[in-house]
Amino acid sequence: MVKAKATKTAGGKQPPAVPVIRLRQALDVAAIRKKLEHGTEEWSPSYHLDTGSRLLNEALGHPELGIPYGRIIEISGLESSGKTALAMHIAAIAQRDGAYVIWDDFERSFDEDWARTRGLQPEHVTLFKPYIGEFKVKPKPGVVKDKKAIRLSSAEVICEQTEYAMSQLSGPKRQKGILVLDSLTAMLVDGEGSTALSAQNMKTNLELPIFLGKLMRRWVALAPAHNTLVLLVNQLRQKPTSRGDPYYTPGGNAVKFFCHARARVMRIKGGKITGPGGTRIGIQGMIKNIKNKAGGVENSVVGFKILFDGKTAFVPVKSIKREDEGAKGGSNNNDGND
């Protein structure tokens, strides 16, 4: 540290000297790894998925660049609020962007016809669903031989298969991709699934949050390693108290901490879009950002109009009207007045 020279003020007193701080030069991380003989591998380049809507980009990623690959995004909302439709819309854009698509359908609700309507090509989607199979059972104390039993696949099994698919589809060139997990709440972990319903207790209730804590620590590193954008679809639960936010996302705190961006989907202004004769032709609502470490604006909001014929529009929230005010649908990837 070097002391700066003090100059006399008008009163003749000398002000305290202001220290001049010399910044240390940053060390070469690659050189450190080489010195310690740690294996190194070049990280893949960074990509962004431009959704075609500045408003949606701002809510889930960077306003100009879009949603970054290699990040984890949570989309939560009440039932039938448009979570899966929004995830399909983003996955379809990524697919057209040349990204591979993996879909973990823990709810077993993935519909190929609805996916095509939303612009996704399901025949090019690697789809994982819970299934009945023969799996190893943890041996009892004192038993050396492993046993197998026919049972429902656990979340651990599906996620293990997902990680393998990511490594294969990404390849040595780190091809960009998108992974949709629908939904976190529907994941049945091994400790809970292997316990009878009558034997469920506090320990089994904590199995999912504990598992998600481990999973997030892995995927926060695997996502950028494979250039994969991870979309976590989550549900909302209502708190027993009326203070503050009446809703919360289940699954523990790990998801909140490790997600780079979090957004909540909700219907507004009646939530319905009606056509001629009062026929319901779509839904409308808004996407509110509640966390953004992906380059966007925290607490930003964007209105959406999802039509059942496949069209989707992202518009300013103030432009959305109630169904009885003649709300109309939008067009593909259109920002409306933006």
Q: Tell me the pLDDT tens digit for each residue of 20-33.
A: 888 878 888 878 88
Determine phi and psi for 274, rounding to 5 degrees: -110, 150
Count of CB atoms within 10 A of residue 41's CB? 7
Average pLDDT over residues 147-154: 84
State both tokens at 186: 């529907």
Is this structure's pTM higher than 0.75? yes
Instruction: Map out the domains of the chain as residue ranges.
Output: 47-325
- Whether residue 242 is preceded by a cis peptide bond, meaning omega within 30 degrees of 0, is no
Predicted confidence band of residue 43 (pLDDT cuts 50, 70, 90): low
Is it the case that residue 215 has pLDDT exceeding 50? Answer: yes
CA atoms within 13 A on the CB side of 189: 19
Q: What is the CATH number assigned to the segment(s) 47-325?
A: 3.40.50.300
Of 325, 304, 328, 326, residue with least CA distance to 316: 304
d(CA 92, CA 131): 26
Please give the pLDDT value at position 331.
38
- The rounded mean pLDDT for the chain is 86
